[in-house]
Structure 1
Amino acid sequence: MRPRIVQCDGQIGFRWTRADGTATTVAELVAGSDADEEPERLTATHLAALDDAMIDAARRFGELLGAGRRPTAHERGDLAELYRCLDDACLDYSRAADLLGMSPDSRAGRIVGTAMLMSILARQALDMLGPAPLDGSLDEPALGVVGGYGEMVQVDPDRPWKGGRWVVRTESGARLPLTLSMILFDSSGTNADAARDEHCEALRTVTSTVGQSGSDVYDAACALDWLLYDYLMAHRDGPDSAEIVFAKGRDGDAVVVVAAAAASVRARATFDPALALRRG
């Protein structure tokens, strides 16, 4: 018998078991002495199971993830289990891909990106998100069209783990909040590819700080949450969808998204007891 996925009706997420029924992970299966002769098939199976789990989660929790209403006490428990399972699956895939020396392709990036967006939305419904970069330091926009220049602003160049965000700098000197979606779809005179490049570089920068001596993992987790959320919301298949699609010619962004998602889980595992077993 081969290792298999356990994904029962009513179950949130999924899990791997060995042939003898003991719990395992896809990373352990890839690295173990009884590794599959074609381990890439295990990672493909993992992504397919994650995709199926998200379809079920969207059906069951779509109203809550879309902020249609507040969760009940019982639903809060379900949402907590949902984000834990999604986070676990994203980190497990990333570890397995690293062990195999695989570079995540666009399919992996789309599935992991969608899972991370659902994790963020679940934690948002649970009031578990920290502050976004530059929260409290930007000006309030007035009604109407705003003229100015959009730029990615770092919170503190000497502390790169704090991340950054897009800001409109007006001729009057005001700094207004901006999103990647607004740059791509609601602004004129912008270079979409250059904006995506800059956003991905901001994600790489924060990702590289996780685990470094002297960096603050809480700040890094908050920065990654915001940068991922901003990128993923700008790359949904539609306004009512959480499915992520990459722009034409941007399949390489998958590597950035998967790495940032794994770093987010590792960072949050240092202060979220529910993720403590995902450390490393």
Structure 2
Amino acid sequence: MSSRFVLAVGCFLGAAGLTLLHHSKRAKKEVEFLTSATRLTLKELGKLFDDDNRERDPPALVAVSGRVGSSEPIACKISGLKGVLVEEKEELEFERKHPVYGYWSRDSALTNLKTKEVPWYLDDGTGQLVYVRGAREACRFSFAVKREVFEECPKTPTEHKFLKLFGVKRTESLIPTGTSLTVVGEAVRDESGRVWVQPPPEEEAPFYVFQMTMDELVAYLKQNGSLFKDFSEFLMISVGFVVVFGWMCGGRKTSQRKNLQQFLRTVLNS
């Protein structure tokens, strides 16, 4: 086994170990940030902005949960649901022939992408509505529902010799009304009296919108962080074994080379 191969294996294991260690530290940092937020019911959050509490500043970060609602939801065409945040995507699917080698390969091209959003709020049944803005760019955000339909292209009498059109795939991703969400961010009240949770003004402070409960996400991050750390330590120990093995192989080859040189000298001198 060549020393170059052993070195390559060691470098690969070391890089993988460092990557997993980075993910472990990142998960730990996320847990620390999320647990630093003040957990409130929507009613408790609303009381912080009452006239009686004007002298008290709300917490820098709050964590609230509730079901999504809106007074003017979007009627979705594909799913038939009503959503507050909808992404519509159209992709043209086709096959094209390689001009030199002649083989056909399937491909797609994005032809249209639209995002629609209406004012929406969280409702936890306590009588207080809290509105949310900036969810699309939030950490851990994902659409709750995704639907796809495929529309075939009408066949034409003559097709291009280098291109075959199959059809258009339409994808609809959305947050429907009634979805349970947890939001971690800055709480403010606008001029009309609405309470909002939005991205914090500081660039270093992230903004979270996710479908798990706070306890579920924290437990998930802790578990992943622990697994990443364990695998990272295992890979780092493996790097040590690879280095020792490479050193032993290198030493053995050096010894064999010296013995061969000594044998050749003896033959030549005789």
The TM-score bracket by the shorter chain reads: under 0.3
Q: Which has the larger radius of gyration?
A: 2
Pick 1 or 2: higher relative contact order, CA cutoff 8 A, min separation 6.
Answer: 2
TM-score, normalised relative to structure 2: 0.25
More helix by share: 1
TM-score, normalised relative to structure 1: 0.25
